[in-house]
Structure formats: C-alpha cells, structure tokens
Amino acid sequence: MSKASFTYLTIFLLIISPFLLSNCASRLQFVEGGRYSDPQGYFKLSFPENGWQLLSWKDLDFVLWDSRTGSTIVVDVKPLKEDLELAILTNQLLIAFDSKKIISQDMEKIDGREALKTVLEAWTEGTEITVEAYVVRGKGVSYDIIFWAPRDVFPHKVEAFHQLLATIRFLQP
C-alpha cells in the first residue's frame, strides 16, 4: 500500500472511530482471568497483546482495531435458520470484500470444532488487504471469526489474531 493510501486510511479511521465509540458501548463482559464473554453467552476469549482497541458496532458481537496499522479482528455470531454447509456460510461472509482472490481454503479446528479457514486478498474502502477468515458452526448459529489488514501489514499482525484464536471457547453446543 502506498504511503499516501495508508495516510488516507489512517485519517479516515481516526475521524470515524470517535463517532463509532461515542455511539456504541461495549457489549462484552469482563470475566475472571483477563477473559471476556459476550452477553448472549456464545463465546469467551482473551485479547491479543499490544495496541488493540475494543470497538463495538451495533450489528457485530466483537471488534478489535489497531489504529496504527488499520488491522481489524471481528467475531460475530449469526443465527442459522437452516443447516448450511461451511462453504456456503463462508461465501456469504466474504461477499463484503471486493475483487477477491482466494489464496487457500482448508478445514481446521477451533476449540475442537470444525472450521473452514479461508485466506484471501481483496479490496475494501480502496485499500488492498489480506484476510484470514474462519467460519464455525454451532447449534443454530454460525461463528464468523475474521482478521484483515493492509497487505503489507498482514504478516506482522496475523500472529495477534492467532493468539486470540487460541483463546476462543465456544459456550453453546
């Protein structure tokens, strides 16, 4: 990403983040041992280290943002009306990204559950990003667990996302 693009993205995010923070209160609850839980009781997790700021958007369960790099982590739980394949749920999730190029797609386990992991390059808000996304099914819900960052930042920040993944505990069957 060019320096001008990164500067533009940073300015945009710095302008919009106070608005987002002032309009939305955190929906996570502190639990013992530095862990956090969503109020609906679907998951617990621990924050990754260094520089992440908790944001709360109306339609998302959990959002972390690193204002220095533009990196973002999202965990969202969606109700399922029918039992859909992980590939279909992943396609629905990735529709938000423009000019997608899937790099890899593999099955993995998160907290003992099958997860479809997808790594892709895409564009959002005029910025080229790399995305690592996991879709996990629970009873009557799906969990979308996503990390994205500008392409040149991704290799340096993805480890923080992996730290968070290692701490996720699903609380529903």
What pLDDT digit, counting tens, does each position of 130-164 carry?
999 999 998 899 999 999 999 999 999 999 999 99
CATH number at residue 141: 3.40.1000.10
Task: Give the DSSP H/E element, type plus range, for residue 158.
Answer: helix 154-167
86 close to 29: Cβ distance less than 8 angstroms: no
β-bridge partners, 157: none
- Domains held by the chain: number: 1
Q: Residue 130: CB partners within 8 Å, gap ≥ 6?
A: 119, 120, 121, 148, 149, 150, 151, 154
List the domain range (segments joined by +) for residue 113.
3-170
Lowest mean pLDDT among 53-67, 112-126, 138-152: 53-67
Q: What is the pTM of this model?
A: 0.79
Residue for token digits 């997608």?
100
Which pLDDT belongs to residue 10? 45
Residue 62's CB: how many other CB atoms inside 10 A?
A: 24
Read off the pLDDT of each residue in 92-117 and give the average, rounded to a whole number. Answer: 94
